[in-house]
Amino acid sequence: MSSFGAIPIDWVGVRIDFLISSANKCLEGVPGFSFVICRRDALLACGGYARSLSLNLLDQFKGFEKNGQFRYTPPTHALLAFEQALLELEQEGGVAGRRARYQANHEALVSGMKQLGFRPYLDSALQSYIITSFFYPESEKFTFSAFYRGLSDKGFIIYPGKISQANSFRIGSIGRVFPADIDGLLSAIRSVLGEMGLDPSSGQPTLRHVETQRHLKTLPSPLRK
């Protein structure tokens, strides 16, 4: 869901029968529908299994085969946006091109955050370029709510919470985001830390250093307002 379009998939080696993803995320369309890429024989073997009328994938497939229409009102605006998103993906060089931009975003983010004293939650060998978690500063002056609001006031939205027991927050590298946007985010983070009474110029003294082997699931992206 969060990586399709930016991370290569070994379709043959993995022996995929069904892949479900969304029009947004790394494809950079707008939310509004999901799609399924599947093996025809695997889909045809699903007859009678559906427990939902509206989510009956086989019946929808048969409808497309018969008249090319959705069974229910289609998300027209999202479909048109998706068509444009696919054109832009092709223009960027496909998965390889988009991957290169996201990797550049991620590398700029991690390098800049380390200079500000933040430590990534995952070891680099485990870390993807989709989203990165960072430990909180250990200073009592730091509160995530104030940090989040400060960045929002400066035009940057990061994930509003953590997904592990560790005190951490997440910043994504995907979407219509470029290294220049990451530089702007880092500048805003430096400014907000200063407003909170933390000294980002010192690099590390005020920030947490905790080793962990806990694995996190990667999820998507910081959005500019």
The pLDDT tens digits along the chain (225 residues) read 889 999 999 988 999 999 999 999 999 999 999 999 999 999 999 999 999 998 899 999 999 999 999 999 999 999 999 999 999 999 999 999 999 999 999 999 999 999 999 999 999 999 999 999 999 998 999 999 999 999 999 999 999 877 778 899 999 999 999 999 999 999 999 999 999 999 876 554 444 443 333 333 333 444 444
Report the alpha-carbon angle 218-222-225, nearest 5.
155
165 and 80 within one domain: no
155 and 63 within one domain: no
Evaluate whether residue 5 is within a structural domain. Answer: no
Give the CA distances from residue 87 to residues 19, 28, 92, 192, 211, in Å, rounded to whole numbers and listed in that order.
Answer: 21, 11, 9, 38, 43
Evaluate whether residue 149 is within a structural domain. Answer: yes
pLDDT for the residue 126:
93
- List residues bridging with 137 in a β-sheet: 207
Report which of 17, 4, 26, 204 is spatially closest to residue 102, judged by C-alpha positions: 26
pLDDT for the residue 203:
52
64 and 130 within one domain: no
Q: By three-state DSSP, how is residue 144 classified?
A: helix
149 and 66 within one domain: no
The pTM of the full predicted model, rounded to 2 decimals, is 0.84
Evaluate whether residue 203 is within a structural domain. Answer: yes
Count of domains forming the chain: 2
Cα–Cα distance, 209 to 146 (Å, whole number): 21
Tokens at 107, concatenated: 């590398």
pLDDT for the residue 202:
56
217 and 115 within one domain: yes
User: At which of 41, 71, 91 does a domain end?
Assistant: 91
pLDDT for the residue 214:
32
Tokens at 12, concatenated: 């043959």
CB atoms within 10 A of CB 43: 16
201 and 126 within one domain: yes
- φ, ψ of residue 169 in degrees (nearest 5): -135, 165
113 and 55 within one domain: no
Show the domain range for 130.
95-224
Evaluate whether residue 1 is within a structural domain. Answer: no
Give 167's contacts (C-beta < 8 A, 6+ positions apart): 135, 136, 208
User: At which of 91, 117, 139 does a domain end?
Assistant: 91
210 and 130 within one domain: yes
Evaluate whether residue 114 is within a structural domain. Answer: yes
39 and 106 within one domain: no
Evaluate whether residue 166 is within a structural domain. Answer: yes
161 and 131 within one domain: yes
Cα–Cα distance, 223 to 157 (Å, whole number): 5
Tokens at 128, concatenated: 């993807």
119 and 31 within one domain: no
User: At which of 26, 61, 91 does a domain end?
Assistant: 91
pLDDT for the residue 164:
79
CB of 40 closer than 8 Å to CB of 102: no
In this structure, what CATH number is given to the domain that contains residue 155? 3.90.1150.10
117 and 75 within one domain: no
Evaluate whether residue 32 is within a structural domain. Answer: yes
